[in-house]
Chain A
């Protein structure tokens, strides 16, 4: 089966084509077609993962084009990383597809929605399977396009349209960085293939500075896609899209593409200490930064969005501190429990008729028992409570940071752990504890297509951590790093686990103390300045608006005027001159024989005068 792994992305693509061609006629069948295709992809991915675990890396490429001495290839590759990503993407995608059937049932354009969703799945799988950076870049852009389409799915809402635009433009900054990095890498090594390029780098054919520049450029792409500081601003706004989209794209898969990119080009980062440090610090700052904003936000999806940014920061931090396996392990577990949290939030939102403000929730524990329990599992998992998935992955991340030994990073990571537990439990309490404060009559569960994905994801959120824990000898590490030389992977001892657990418990306890009844804590009265700062997201958007957007707008307006008056003016002037000349010349053309004769005489005189002027009267 592993030889036919290329079938995996083609299944969703086929569904996309069918939905595209079928259009409105497939409104009823759309969810079935899409779910079937993704289910097929999921089964194939599982088989491929199993074969890869038992077997070896498989790669197949065909020559796409030849430029001078360089062959550019297209194909696919199944490595440990790829097969794991395939499994995670198809699993989450399948559950989101199932969930969407109910969530989007009332939407008149559900066939379009499923079309986009399958196309996104195709792009993401293509990205994961890509055997070289060029192909990866193509799918990378497709993924960005799908994100744009899905965030702006409700384009008639101004916020959604704006958010889609913002997501596209902000990630574009990163994409440019990635492209520059690719070109530089190609220039330096003469190949887009992972293997050849990395071999050249490891053989020292590329200067150290150049490697750092390339790594940083590629990391810029990752920063854009994974919403790391300072390009994180698009992700919270992207929550204007439908909730399943938030779960699939903006929690589990697409934003993980940035982390995946760093992982797949990891040799470049290993070759440059500076780049690794930048990755680590960017991740750490993002983690704390986003977590602190999540403390005060009152939109259920935005809290989760900031949580995602924060967790992605943790993954970057792990990668930056040589914790290759830890970062990817956290990526995998996070995909499950964040998708769970988002879908549970979607369930709540659906029950409350698309209200997302947590100040109007509360007391839903008894009304939506399945959602509440699964949400609690997700919360425990992300907070890092033993023995859920998040505990193991977060512990691995902390171990990597600890082994790195940078005090600042350790502090930031620990702080993030506390904050994560705090804001997640705050969210949980505000939504599910206390008394109901909303105005929607009798919110209730939404049926099996909603709860089944939640339960499945909850199972994953509980168990996914057991692929990498002491009792099986850190199995994932052996699987992921077989044949790779990415350095020793740090393992936390019992002490680190205890500290980690303690930090999480402290955060959770504090949240219980402040929000246990589901009511306001009154924190904004006690520390208004801090609260204000956090509520306004550190004024990052405002700063961008003032520093980048407004000068750019002014400049653009200037250029518009230049275009209108000078460029257009010149064109119009030329046109007007021609037109007027034609008019005047046309008037001379009046059909009067004698006028023509007069002009002829004048011409003859001019000719004679010219001849005389040149040669004199008698030559």
Chain B
């Protein structure tokens, strides 16, 4: 059996790639994609613990379902916002969306 540590390491790498994407990419769609990657990294952790963790049980998988649900909802709302934003400001470059400025 593959050791739990390797799964966790993989998830960590995936999470950090997603985080880096969120911090540096300029296309809003790609930022949303990066967020999905980060959520998936979490899911990998949950499922790995649920299956081969020291106290393996079903709860991790149940939570994975919740996370997937929330991620789907988030993706739907995020894309809707993105479309509304694009319609209003003709751009989905995150650098140009600086209305929160002081």
B101 CB–A CB distance under 8 Å: yes
A593 CB–B CB distance under 8 Å: yes
Give a binary string over B7-40; 1 marks a CB under 8 Å from any A CB, 0 the rest. 0000000000001001110000000000000000
B102 CB–A CB distance under 8 Å: yes
Chain B residue total in the interface (Cβ 8 A)? 12
A592 to B22 Cα, complex, angstroms: 12
A590 to B100 Cα, complex, angstroms: 7
A66 CB–B CB distance under 8 Å: no
Chain A residues near B24 (CB-CB < 8 A):
594
Is the Cβ of A597 less than 8 Å from the Cβ of B98?
no
Is the Cβ of A592 less than 8 Å from the Cβ of B102?
no
A32 to B75 Cα, complex, angstroms: 96
Is the Cβ of A592 less than 8 Å from the Cβ of B95?
yes
Of B22, B94, B102, chain A has the most CB atoms within 10 Å of the CB of B102
In the complex, the chain A residue whose C-beta lies closest to that of B20 is A601
A589 CB–B CB distance under 8 Å: yes
Q: Which of A586, A593, A598, A601 makes the CB contact (< 8 A) with B97?
A: A593
In the complex, the chain A residue whose C-beta lies closest to that of B28 is A593
Is the Cβ of A592 less than 8 Å from the Cβ of B19?
no
The interface size bin for chain A is 10 to 19
Q: Within the complex, what minimum Cβ distance (angstroms) separates B94 from chain A? A: 6
Is the Cβ of B101 less than 8 Å from the Cβ of A597?
no
In the complex, the chain A residue whose C-beta lies closest to that of B101 is A591
In the complex, the chain B residue whose C-beta lies closest to that of A589 is B102
Q: Within the complex, what minimum Cβ distance (angstroms) separates B37 from chain A? A: 15
Is the Cβ of A591 less than 8 Å from the Cβ of B94?
no
Is the Cβ of A601 less than 8 Å from the Cβ of B23?
yes
Of A586, A589, A592, chain B has the most CB atoms within 10 Å of the CB of A592
Q: Which of A589, A598, A601 makes the CB contact (< 8 A) with B101?
A: A589
Chain B residues near A593 (CB-CB < 8 A):
94, 97, 100
Q: Within the complex, what minimum Cβ distance (angstroms) separates A447 from chain B? A: 79
B residues 18-64 near A (Cβ < 8 Å) are: 19, 22-24
B99 CB–A CB distance under 8 Å: yes
Q: Within the complex, what minimum Cβ distance (angstroms) separates B85 from chain A? A: 12
Q: Which of A589, A591, A598 makes the CB contact (< 8 A) with B23?
A: A598
Q: Which of B23, B99, B100 makes the CB contact (< 8 A) with A597?
A: B23
Chain B residues near A598 (CB-CB < 8 A):
23
Chain A residues near B95 (CB-CB < 8 A):
592
A591 to B101 Cα, complex, angstroms: 4
A residues 582-606 near B (Cβ < 8 Å) are: 586, 589-594, 597-598, 601
A597 to B24 Cα, complex, angstroms: 10
In the complex, the chain B residue whose C-beta lies closest to that of A592 is B98
Is the Cβ of A594 less than 8 Å from the Cβ of B23?
yes
Is the Cβ of A601 less than 8 Å from the Cβ of B100?
no
Q: Within the complex, what minimum Cβ distance (angstroms) separates A592 from chain B? A: 6
Give a binary string over A563-595; 1 marks a CB under 8 Å from any B CB, 0 the rest. 000000000000000000000001001111110
Is the Cβ of A586 less than 8 Å from the Cβ of B98?
no
Q: Within the complex, what minimum Cβ distance (angstroms) separates A589 from chain B? A: 4
Chain B residues near A591 (CB-CB < 8 A):
97-102
Is the Cβ of B22 less than 8 Å from the Cβ of A590?
no
Q: Within the complex, what minimum Cβ distance (angstroms) separates A617 from chain B? A: 15
In the complex, the chain B residue whose C-beta lies closest to that of A590 is B101
Q: Within the complex, what minimum Cβ distance (angstroms) separates B61 from chain A? A: 27
Q: Within the complex, what minimum Cβ distance (angstroms) separates A601 from chain B? A: 7
Is the Cβ of B19 less than 8 Å from the Cβ of A590?
no
Q: Within the complex, what minimum Cβ distance (angstroms) separates A62 from chain B? A: 65
Q: Within the complex, what minimum Cβ distance (angstroms) separates B65 from chain A? A: 27
Q: Within the complex, what minimum Cβ distance (angstroms) separates B33 from chain A? A: 15
Of A589, A591, A598, chain B has the most CB atoms within 10 Å of the CB of A591
A148 to B14 Cα, complex, angstroms: 88
A591 to B97 Cα, complex, angstroms: 7
Q: Within the complex, what minimum Cβ distance (angstroms) separates A141 from chain B? A: 56
Given contacts A594-B22, A601-B19, A601-B23, contact A586 B94 (CB under 8 A): no
In the complex, the chain A residue whose C-beta lies closest to that of B94 is A593
Q: Within the complex, what minimum Cβ distance (angstroms) separates A109 from chain B? A: 58
A593 to B78 Cα, complex, angstroms: 15
Chain B residues near A601 (CB-CB < 8 A):
19, 23
**A-side interface residues toward B, CB under 8 Å?**
586, 589-594, 597-598, 601
> 24 A-B contacts, Cβ less than 8 Å apart?
A589-B101, A590-B101, A590-B102, A591-B97, A591-B98, A591-B99, A591-B100, A591-B101, A591-B102, A592-B94, A592-B95, A592-B98, A593-B94, A593-B97, A593-B100, A594-B22, A594-B23, A594-B24, A594-B94, A597-B22, A597-B23, A598-B23, A601-B19, A601-B23
Besides A590-B98, A597-B22, 8 new A-B residue pairs in contact (Cβ under 8 A), listed by A number:
A586-B102, A590-B101, A591-B100, A592-B94, A593-B94, A594-B94, A597-B23, A601-B19
Nearest first, the 4 A-B pairs at minimum CB distance are: A591-B98, A591-B101, A591-B100, A589-B102
